[in-house]
Structure 1
Amino acid sequence: MTKKKCGKIAIIGQPNVGKSTLLNFILGQKLSITSRKAQTTRNQILGIHSEQDIQFIFVDTPGYQQKFLNQMNKRMNKSVTSVFHDVDVVIFMSEPKALNEIEIELVKMIPNDTPVINLINKIDRVKNKNKILELIDINSELQIFKKIIPASIKLKDNQKIILQEISEFLPEQDFIFDVDDITDKNERFLAAEIIREKIFRLTGDELPYSIAVEIENFEYKDNLRRIFATILVDKDSQKPVVIGKDGEKLKRISSESRRDMEKLFQSKIWLEIWVKVQKNWFDDARALKSLGI
């Protein structure tokens, strides 16, 4: 009888290296929200991928921050570093270029007995493949990484290779979650994340990172979910950016969020969204706690 393997894998790196994208591709559906804005991921999110005899429990962490060190960002950084002591292996994602001081500092925070895999993402953007080989040699000289994997994480074959390499470091033990589970997060959290992603995508560069989504009420009856959400902005001037002319932007945020929720929750969705100004919410410990940050 084949013994089962099961373990936790932290996905870390600076903002926008593809951490959430990797998790979504491996799971085969959108769990972590993605955008080109920094600070998109704010919470640790467990993504669970089960195969016949291996269960991978991925921990998608916020990007490690060195700018805008308010209360929210300090909590996000703590979320990143605290996970190091609770996982079996760390995936350190980077882009196909030399690691900067912040990245090296982050990797050196990982305990020596925790194996670290350097996943160099986006290699499809590099025309001269010799540069990839040079980069592997440079990163090897740091003597930090157990393995270095150059990849384009959107390719199915690359995802299989990544899982195979990770599996070597997972302990033999029974599965922790049911084989059908894909996350530890509840539907309220996932609904808020979907709305927040639509705001980022539809407001472009007009709106800074200082928005949040709070689910005021979540009702479920007869395959209908009624969801009431509030978008928090930091300044009065940001409110019309989210609402748009004649409410068109907010309507689009709502309709696109509803479509994604219906796909994820496999049910009809009734969604109502309001916009509220709450100044400096990202520096308010009480507000952050209520938002689960």
Structure 2
Amino acid sequence: MSTPVYRAGHVAVIGRPNVGKSTLTNALVGAKVSIVSNRPQTTRHRLLGIASFDAGQLVLVDTPGLHRDQGKATASAMHRSMNRAARGALEGVDAALLVVVAGQWDEADEFAYQALHGARLPVVLVVNQVDRQKDKTALLPYLAKVTEGREFAAVHPVSALKRKGLEALVKDVLALCPEQPALYGEDEITDRSQRFLAGEMLREQLMRQLGKELPYATTVEIERFEADGALYRIGAVIWVERDGQKAIVIGKGGERLRDIGAKARQHMERLFGCKVFLETWVRVRQGWSDDEAALRAFGYRD
């Protein structure tokens, strides 16, 4: 009896903002490694999500959403950093997933496709959120339209949120990866540290609760991360750019900050599998999002 072929490779997850790239990455990994919210560009960093299966392993490179105008001189340092991270994800990967929303294809989707096409990578089109399509008969004409004149190794309608259609997707993506042993251990789910993930869990709650008021004015710095037996003691600073923003984050009598911290702590405890004692402070650093040195200090690297 022949030995089953095992494949492993790096796969970039690319698309315009807010199409569900991080939700797809989490669904394939089977654990929450990328934060999600309904705000575009919630993902600011490039990170690896490690999805292990019987037939192989996919090292998914989750990325910030690509924006056509991010490379312009008028874009903020934050936007330039995110765009470099997204484009850098194409280096050294074996394949790419282009994630789009079912029924939608605009200039931003075309921009993402052209970036992949120029990188000469095999591209799998992942049509996400098919569960939200009210008119299911419109899906086939839509697929015919977006694939006409464009090169895709495969096309997969899925629902990342409901984890539908992922088994067939995994099979086709693994077929694009080389035959080789697993690149990471079966129990590994990301290349990022617990310290980094703690900061992301807190930033996720900021995006979820303050996305309409302060969509991009906040970031998180973990100042302390200590293991005390079965307890993690974490000290986090929430950075904003103005005093008025600080007041919004704290809320009346500190209520909003307490709620943000409590929800973040719950997510940390589920991810880390232990109790967490979380302390948070809010501080002001004017113009941090357009300051290259500040971004580097806060962990924003290409």
Shorter-chain TM-score: which interval?
over 0.9
Q: What displacement does 1:134 show?
A: 1.1
The answer as to whether partners of 1:37 and 1:209 remain within 8 angstroms in 2 is no
Deviates more, 1:121-130 or 1:233-242: 121-130
State the partner residue of 1:202. 209
| CA distance, structure 2, for counterparts of residue 63 and residue 164 of structure 1 | 25
State the Cα distance separating 1:208 from its structure 2 match: 2.5
Shift of 1:102: 2.6
Shift of 1:106: 2.2
Q: What residue number does 1:95 align with?
A: 101
Residue-by-residue CA offset, 1:62-117 (whole Å, 9 max, x unaligned):
01124672111111111111221221111001112342223212221224531001
Residues 16 and 112 of structure 2 are in contact (CA less than 8 Å); yes or no, is this contact kept in structure 1? no
Equivalent residue runs for 1:37-52 within 5 Å: 37-52=39-54
Query: Paired residue for 1:57?
Result: 59
* Distance in 2 of aligned mates of 1:74 and 1:21: 23
Partner of 2:80: 74
Instruction: Identify which range, 213-222 or 94-103, moves more after superposition.
Output: 94-103
Across the two proteins, how many residue pairs are aligned to each other? 293
Runs of 4+ with >3 A deviation: none
Structure 1: segments with no counterpart, 5+ residues: none
SS of residue in 1 equivalent to 2:121 = coil
User: Which of 272, 277, 282 is the aligned partner of 2:279?
Assistant: 272
Tell me which amino acid in the other structure corresponds to 1:57: V
Distance 1:127 1:208 in 2: 30
Letter in 1 for 2:79: N
Distance 2:240 2:276 in 1: 24
**Separation in 2 of the partners of 1:281 and 1:163?**
40
Q: Secondary structure at the match of 2:57?
A: strand
Q: How much does 1:157 deviate?
A: 4.0
CA displacement, residues 174-227 of structure 1 (integer Å, 9 cap, x when unaligned): 111111100000011000000001111122412221210000111112122111
Q: 2:17 aligns with which of 15, 21, 24?
A: 15
Q: CA separation in 2, counterparts of 1:177 and 1:35?
A: 28
Instruction: Note if 1:223 corresponds to 2:230.
Output: yes
Q: Residue 106 in 1 paired to residue 112 in 2?
A: yes
For 1:211, the equivalent position in structure 2 comes to: 218
- Provide the C-alpha distance between the structure 1 equivalents of 2:151 and 2:110, rounded to a whole number of angstroms: 9
- Provide the identity percentage: 38
8 Å contact from structure 2 (residues 23, 36) kept in 1: yes
Counterpart position of 2:186: 179
Aligned counterparts of 2:69 and 2:189: Cα–Cα separation in 1: 32
User: In the alignment, does 2:158 pair up with 1:151?
Assistant: yes
Alpha-carbon RMSD across the aligned residues, in angstroms, is 1.5
Normalization by structure 2: what TM-score? 0.92
Q: Which residue of 2 aligns with 1:136?
A: 143
Distance (Å, rounded) in 1 between the aligned partners of 2:40 and 2:160: 19
Q: Distance in 2 between matches of 1:179 and 1:102?
A: 36
- Amino acid corresponding to residue 83 of structure 2 in structure 1: N
Instruction: Give distance in 2, aligned partners of 1:166 and 1:231.
Output: 38
**1:238-289 per-position Cα deviation (integer Å, ceiling 9, x unaligned):** 1111101100001111111111111111112111100001111011111111
Q: Which amino acid aligns with 1:31?
A: V
Q: How does 1:248-263 map to 2 (within 5 A)?
A: 248-263=255-270
Per the TM alignment, residue 57 of structure 1 is displaced from its structure 2 partner at its CA by 0.6
- Equivalent position SS for 1:109: helix
